[in-house]
Chains A and B, each alone.
Chain A
Amino acid sequence: NAGVTQTPKFQVLKTGQSMTLQCAQDMNHEYMSWYRQDPGMGLRLIHYSVGAGITDQGEVPNGYNVSRSTTEDFPLRLLSAAPSQTSVYFCASSIDRNQPQHFGDGTRLSIL
Chain B
Amino acid sequence: DQQVKQNSPSLSVQEGRISILNCDYTNSMFDYFLWYKKYPAEGPTFLISISSIKDKNEDGRFTVFLNKSAKHLSLHIVPSQPGDSAVYFCAASATGGTSYGKLTFGQGTILTVHP
Which A residues are within 8 Å of any B CB, using their own CB?
4, 31, 33, 35, 40-45, 48, 50, 58-59, 90, 92, 96-98, 100-106
Contacts and interface: CB of A to CB of B under 8 A. Distances in A.
Contact of A42 (B45, B49, B108): B108
A59 B45 CA distance: 21
A40 B107 contact: yes
Of B36, B49, B93, B105, the most chain A CB neighbours within 10 A belong to B105
A42 B100 contact: no
B32 interface: yes
A1 to B, nearest CB: 15
Nearest to A45: B102
A42 B89 contact: yes
A40 B34 CA distance: 19
A105 B102 contact: no
Contacts of B36: 103
A60 to B, nearest CB: 12
Interface of B: 4, 6, 32, 34, 36, 41-46, 49, 89, 91, 93, 95, 100-108
A101 B105 contact: no
- Most chain A beta-carbon contacts within 10 A, residue among B49, B93, B101: B101
B44 A48 contact: no
A44 B43 contact: no
A29 B43 CA distance: 17
A31 B101 contact: yes
A42 B107 contact: yes
A105 B89 contact: no
A106 B42 CA distance: 7
A42 B105 contact: yes
Contacts of A97: 93, 100-102
Given A31-B101, A97-B100, A105 B43 contact: yes
Contacts of A92: 43
Contacts of B102: 45, 48, 58-59, 97
A10 to B, nearest CB: 11
A33 B103 CA distance: 10
13 contacts: A42-B4, A42-B6, A43-B89, A43-B91, A48-B101, A59-B102, A59-B104, A97-B102, A98-B32, A100-B46, A101-B103, A103-B44, A103-B45
